[in-house]
Amino acid sequence: MEECCSTKPKKEHNHNHEDHDHDHGHSHDTEGKSAFQMFLPAIISFALLLLGIILDHVVKPGWFSGWIRPVWYSVVYLPVGLPVLKEAFESIKNGDIFSEFFLMGIATVGAFAIGEYPEGVAVMLFYSVGEVFQAMAVTRAQTNIKTLLDQRPDEVTVIREGKPQTIKAEQVNIGDIIQLKSGEKLGLDGELLSETASFNTAALTGESKPDTKTKGTAVLAGMINLNTVSQVKVTAAYKDSKLSRILEMVQNATAQKAPTELFIRKFAKVYTPIVVFLAIGITLLPYLFVEHYEFRDWLYRALVFLVISCPCALVISIPLGYFGGIGAGSRNGILFKGSNFLDVLATVRQVVMDKTGTLTEGVFKVQEVNFNNGFDKDELLKLVNALESKSSHPVATAIHEYVGEPDHSVKLENVEEVAGQGLKATVNGKELLVGNFRLMDTSGIRYDFNPENIVYTVIAVAYDQKFAGYLTIADEVKPDAKQTISQLQSLGVTATMLSGDKSSVVQHVAGILGIQNAYGDLLPEDKVNKVKEIKAKKQTVAFVGDGVNDAPVVALSDVGIAMGGLGSDATIETADVVIQDDRPGKIPMAINIGKQTKRIVWQNIFLAFVVKAIVLILGAGGLATMWEAVFADVGVALLAILNAVRIQRMKF
């Protein structure tokens, strides 16, 4: 039988909650504040600065001179400058001397020292405005991700002693029965007790199309009941619900930094002290080479250089770009375990896919039963059904649906699963074999026809060392599978299908979907060898599966994508990327989100470096003033933020 399912064995996901993020916009001071409160210091400074400039250049009163002018601008500076100077002092205390707060502190205090009061205030004012915008953008990105997934209601209605009671969701016990009215959202995972109910699963899968569930099926926290009053038996505690775990996973995703992000952080740590020493050089070295050296002029150039050099446009816009990518994925029912996987997906050139449950529905139906004369069909089906009850494979489910509930009076001994082949057991002292024809061959069972002539999946049965016959089972191709392959090809990605199912079935499905590279009759080790062959071409490989059985294959891939993440707890734990519904169309979407995120991140890097480099050269040459420096720092940072936020609005 096909080893149909797979996810990646757990990589070393670093889910610590240590805050390595650059502390922008004094975000810990801004939590819970309104936009007006956050901008109030800047508004006060701006109004007073404007008044000072009018007094300086328009009204020109006699009293606005001497000590009054510097005192005025000092008062104007304090609302925006004091928090930044405090941050600089805190950073120095913590051993981080060359922070951007330190750069801004030196630049603005230096401007005051040479009498450039309005410019010193303006630099700090615009810098603070930029920091507030940055803090708001980051908070919004994080909030978007959280509110997108944190769909759990705080209270639920439970039936106790025959009466409905409204209690806190955290207080509900496993086994309690929840009553769910039309339009209400389910608070905990459970099992549907009502005969049928329709649910909106958009919170979990990104799909708003109603999903009809039947009695006994699993329903999950976050699903909205659409029509009649339904009853659900709770199967997991509030904190253990699938939605809780997904929420935690996405929040932790920001701790998994992409290589670009890690590089920029390291770069900033080296870059900033270099900038400070270069500024000192710009101030002092010309003394040795310039005939009419003017300390004040060269100090001004050095201060302009410091303002331009501030790396905040890079340090904030890049994490924000990755936040946006993670949020865009979550909104579409795709969960990325870390921003590093967005980067990997952007470079994927090969997608290796399992067949069953990934490209096909994984819902098999028995088409025909063809047993040889001399065997009691009903008796043999009873034995086959009993043996298949020991397997969780979709084929087993198809046989159960066809035959009915397994007969537990059947005594099975020495039950053994043969990897990639099927099941064997001893019944009534005789050997029973149920699996593919490889199992028949390895067990020395003879048969007199070519199974390759049958297109459908064939389950062969042997009893008492004799070939008894076979069942044919068919699986349907998923509606969007063909379009998925076409979209992957348009992205320049090659699709390969690997399957333990027989080659005729695999080639039939590959023909329908337009997949050139498809291989059937594969044992788990054969799949490993195929992936090794692909990896040998030095291409980035993603593996897509829907369970945990193909761990060796997934271990070889650069990124493991799990299909049907809602159906498997192990999948959520171990996959790098989880597609929350069973739609293969989300595979090219995930790759596209990775590509768009990487594009935006590199646009921001290029924008910041080019603009800063131009203005730095102008500043060092004395051709740029503090006003150009403000644009090179705050202006570029704001443009980068707007560009990074753009991904959250993209349609994929």
- Residues belonging to the active site: 354
Helix (H) or strand (E) holding 543: strand 540-545
The answer to whether the beta carbons of residues 298 and 282 sit under 8 Å apart is yes
252 CB burial (10 A radius; 0-12, 13-18, 19+): middle
Query: Whole-angstrom Cα distance, residue 601 to residue 345?
Result: 14
Q: Going along 559-645, which residue ranges are E strands?
A: 559-562, 577-579
**Residue 472 contacts by C-beta under 8 Å, 6 or more apart in sequence?**
366, 367, 368, 370, 454, 456, 457, 458, 459
Query: Whole-angstrom Cα distance, residue 571 to residue 549?
Result: 11
Residue type, 589: M
**Residue 5 contacts by C-beta under 8 Å, 6 or more apart in sequence?**
354, 356, 357, 545, 546, 547, 548, 549, 550
CA dihedral 277, 317, 134, 130 (to 10 degrees): 50
Helix (H) or strand (E) holding 486: helix 481-490
The answer to whether the beta carbons of residues 177 and 193 sit under 8 Å apart is yes
Query: Whole-angstrom Cα distance, residue 508 to residue 489?
Result: 20
Query: Nearest CA to 104 among 299, 309, 278, 270?
Result: 309
Query: Whole-angstrom Cα distance, residue 592 to residue 570?
Result: 26
Query: Whole-angstrom Cα distance, residue 425 to residue 434?
Result: 9
Provide the token pair at 103.
Answer: 């750069």
Nearest 5 degrees, angle CA 4-CA 7-CA 11?
155
Helix (H) or strand (E) holding 542: strand 540-545
Query: Nearest CA to 565 among 578, 577, 555, 574?
Result: 578
Backbone angles phi, psi at 248, to 5 degrees: -60, -40
